[in-house]
Chains A and B, each alone.
Chain A
């Protein structure tokens, strides 16, 4: 083979692999997007969409806009559907719960990580190891316990019990051991002389934490925030147990409820699935600034 041909072959192989892996990611996504625009509530089957199959009905349903549904293709009988506002409610529920819980997680794991990284106290290393061990059990295993606990709390503090967002957030806040480890690991890479220097400059311990350590750790906080946010937007088991009223549901639970045993509304489901990607994308773009900024600031020269 000529060198040129060999090079060509290499290129072809390399590109095939690349295209194949892109397809692996993109095709399912494309199918869902198309399904959200396809008439009827069928499972996504083809990548092909005839022009006469186009519809915005699913999106109207999801966004709470009235539309006419075809009941009988032969007679052309239609029915005005005035969708409940539920999908948008679910969307907002998820947004609120995930944002608040993510901030809470940052607050709790950030301060806890600071203590583990910078302070001396009894059983410090044992507690750290304990956290790691706890982390190995999936949170779902303790679901029954959470249910009982929230039930009990609800009897005394109604706004923190079952069927409340606060209750769900409370449970989400309990799963932060891995975040503590991640943030502590990051703090460990920052020389304590930074805070020493700040303390000589007159900063209190708290000020040194807030004004020096925290901004220096922005990348890890951005990562923890976005990871928590994503995992909570798509979290199903806990949310489905804690929030039982339809309007209360989070996006993941609500979306899944569209795939009812008797009536699987694939079209609606697809539109909602695409919609759920929007807040994640926005959050990611917002956080990316800090992550990239943190990674490159060391090498940046003016």
Chain B
């Protein structure tokens, strides 16, 4: 079975004004393969084209060029209802003048399904979602979480090949969001359908996605599973976007020092110098003298020198944020802060000198010009 696979090829979307003149290209020739049954998350900052992409898959937005196929069919010219998709909207988009039952049954009624079948399907689905005792109510009489569940139920009864979600949880409060997050994940586990999920929340992306597609300015920056995305960002954007606090990114150059290569920040004040050893040295050797960006995640700055490839960095503390079991320590550096996530309950103070050790196995170097990772 390959019905739920979605292939997006050279997809372009250019919005036009009333006269059909192009105004803005929101999606710029993207390619994306989504496997059958996969939970694919589209993530990126506001305005990067996630919704536009999703709406093109749904058939709500005309495709400027390129193709989208679902299963083995090119769906470019198919009506939304014929694409085997269902969509959950950010504002739920429940029909306010209809009861919950009719909200869920609307699609089946339009498809002229038998009454018994509709009754059966809706009551089964509503029971599974815990909505069975409020089928006669109107959407206004439901809480945000319940409304979202109705929207979910309405999608489920369509029995689609592909579920499309556009920031479905962003209108919920934090607690409800966590709960619905796991509920949708569980749903994916039960149904096994392909799901395409748009969010700008990287925590949602990391926790829910089988794979994550990071977008920026209408382009795909990287597609990978959450851990790969975290560990091996392809470019500066992904490195800075995924992770909280984000990866430390220091601008500078690789220079030849006495004992081998060193990374030197290009800055007049507080410039840090990091000796490079081990695997990273081989990579650094390719870019000696060039402008690069040195990337290291906060948790890979530790207080004790581990065996193997670590390198000391000395600086002073700008801010320290104790969080109980760990502290976020913001150290002064030439091109920004250098944040270390240090375990333990020790207290740190502003202005205090500190030396931390960089785990050189975890370092990523980026070309400052192309912003791509250097391998």
Contact = CB atoms under 8 A, between A and B. Distances in A.
A203 interface: yes
A200 interface: yes
A191 B92 CA distance: 11
Given A120-B18, A215-B97, A191 B91 contact: yes
Interface residues of B, number: 32
A216 interface: yes
A41 B87 CA distance: 71
Q: Can you list the 3 inter-chain pairs with the closest CB atoms, starting with the nearest?
A: A201-B107, A202-B81, A197-B93
A199 B87 CA distance: 10
A199 B81 CA distance: 7
B133 to A, nearest CB: 12
A207 B58 contact: no
B128 interface: no
A120 to B, nearest CB: 5
Nearest to A200: B80
Interface string B104-119: 0011001100000000
B97 A216 contact: yes
A200 B60 CA distance: 8
Contacts of B106: 198, 201, 203
A125 B138 CA distance: 36
B237 interface: no
A207 B110 CA distance: 9
Interface residues of A, number: 28
A200 B18 contact: no
A34 B85 CA distance: 68
A121 interface: yes
Given A124-B18, A193-B91, 19 more contacts: A120-B17, A120-B18, A121-B18, A191-B93, A193-B89, A196-B58, A198-B95, A200-B107, A201-B106, A201-B110, A202-B81, A202-B110, A203-B81, A212-B95, A216-B95, A297-B96, A297-B138, A300-B140, A301-B140
Contacts of B85: 200
B141 A200 contact: no
Contact of B18 (A123, A216, A297, A301): A123
A191, A197, A203 pick with most chain B CB within 10 angstroms: A197
Contact of B89 (A197, A207, A212): A197
A298 interface: yes
Given A201-B81, A202-B111, A298 B16 contact: no
B86 A194 contact: no
A124 B17 CA distance: 10
Interface in A190-236: 191, 193-194, 196-203, 207, 212, 215-216, 218
Contacts of B97: 215-216, 218, 297
Given A120-B18, A201-B81, A297 B86 contact: no
Contacts of A197: 87, 89, 93, 95, 154
Contacts of A202: 81, 107, 110-111
A122 interface: yes
Contacts of B95: 194, 197-198, 212, 216
